[in-house]
Structure 1
Amino acid sequence: MRFALDSSHTDFADSIDSLLAKSDMPAVIRSWNAGDTAPGVKVWQRLAETGVNGLLVDEAHDGLGADAIDLIVAVEQLGRHAVPGPVAETLAVAPTLLADAAPDRLSALAEGSLATVAAPPRVPFAVDADTADLVLVADGGRVSTGVAGERHDSVDRSRTLFSVTAGETLGDADTERAFDMGALATAAQLLGLGGTMLDISTEYAKQRKQFGKAIGSQQSIKHHLAGAAIALEMARPLLYGAALAVSTGSADARRDVSAAKVACGDAAYRVSRIALQVHGAIGYTMEHDLSLWLTKTRALLTAWGTPAEHRGRVMEAL
């Protein structure tokens, strides 16, 4: 099985990375945290112009008709830049549900509309339902529009959760596959978040000095950062393998998605702890950019399936 990405994937990832690097994402995230989502929505519109929003939308509905491999390539970059908003829901879950239940609504997604999804009981709340153009409820194979209700805060201030009630029924859909797509996209986000936290920490270790020497020169710091890098690189093949399994319709796709979600979540969480240790307490203050990545990592660990649930699915498959 070949896991390496080809040049089309790497070029696509580089183009997204370049776009987001020019968008001053820390400022965009802080604006979103404060309730001003306009700068973030503009970023999403620019992403839509590159085709990101329509990756899983069929060409007949103005999308790219791409596969899960293209999806994780894009979403990892969104994770690296901690893009706020319903990432997994807009790019992975909603297109999967609407392709079955209401394909006439897919074109709006490809054009840049944001969508969020609640899938009780495993995903009881819809992310950013106040900002999303479309709120969906997926329950027991049935897809309905959703009406946002009570607001719930998250450890990630850019990730607001809402209770939702089902409204108009749109139709039937493979809600289990949609759940798996949400888990796969979240795994890719976590891998991207981990990569940026490692980069930030490595650079900080080169600059921060104690007793006249950069702390990165200390063997203990080097070992911590090396361990974080290894964790991320060991998780990457599982993510690629899961995307390949989904793309080819493998019978083991569900198992592979769960394995990827666990591995990427564990790796990102490990990097977050090491990043905080390297930075000291300043890394967790809201004034430091690292906190934006730390809190998003913590929030996404349980998004689209808890680690315990996904470990259980792997055990059942074995």
Structure 2
Amino acid sequence: MASVAEGFKLRLAPEDEFTHDPGEAENYNESMYFNVFDARRRAGAWFRLGNRPNQRYAEMSICVYFPDGRVGFMFQRPEISGNAEMNAGGLRIEVVEPFKRLKVTYSGELLVLTKPEEMANPKVAFRNNPRMPARMEMEYTGVSPMYGGETVKADGSPIEIDPEKSFAKAHYEQHCAARGFIECGGERLEIDGHGLRDKSWGPRHWQAIEWYRWCPMNFEADFGMMFTVMGDGRGGARASGMVLEGGVYDEITACELSSEWDGNEYQTALEAKVTTKAGRTYAVSGRVLSLIPLRNRRTAPDGTELTTRITEAMTEYRCNGQTGYGMSEYLDQIVDGRPLGRLSGY
């Protein structure tokens, strides 16, 4: 379980796997995310569904990294009438057994891109690339404890948050095994691998965080990692995460991270030195195999146009002489055309 500041604690119960009362915050978001990577096939995928019931729509995303370098992607904002289930835009998430087994299915279309970087301009990407019928089923089984939860006061009462400055009031993650298939345009990709899932709920604006680097990875069933380096809003950064070994989590207390970039300021590689609460250190290197740039735009109350860029990269990792696979997800607010995290040296 992740640590919290003095006077607070983390609360997490099996019922948190299901949907919550959204309350009155207009920007309430309840999201579930899953990724999976098959090391033998060098293929992967991620899926996300975020309900925004008070705005009457959901954010549905699905992304597939094919072995030949193509990327299948789809994003929709389907209308929803409430927060009773995670089921919108053809993507459905079922909790079979809380904290242990979940099922993710999709039926719809994928935009298949041979040049994923074209998604920097979604209108052009959707106009110039084919949509293909797609179907997916994936069974997830937890291989680790739960990491995270809802931060509450020491007496269990909720903390007060400003919805306009919030990214999520609760968040948890878990390393998993995953098996299933992805069908697209007549091709069938069998998947047998590992990944990470997370869940968040509470008010969210994508612009509430200046930047972060989120890197989940799996090497074997009993060796995985997730580290996050996040801008603290004062020019510095803070690190968090965990290392999975022997069926338990060792909390990450520090992470020194450096990244390499291409001409579009997309990450191409990274190096990290991770230190844990138990005093262990890990040297991690990552090499991007396939990347798709995504964005979120919002007009602030004062009329300012805000743009958030999220580069989603399937990444090959090396640590302790082992090779593994996962994501490097880099979120940046774009200011004067530049990503803030890059300007901060990350």
Confirm or deny a common fold (TM above 0.5): no
Q: If each structure's strand is expressed as a fraction of its own residues, which one has the higher value?
A: 2
* TM-score, with length taken from structure 1: 0.30
Say which structure is richer in helix. Answer: 1
**TM-score using structure 2 length:** 0.28
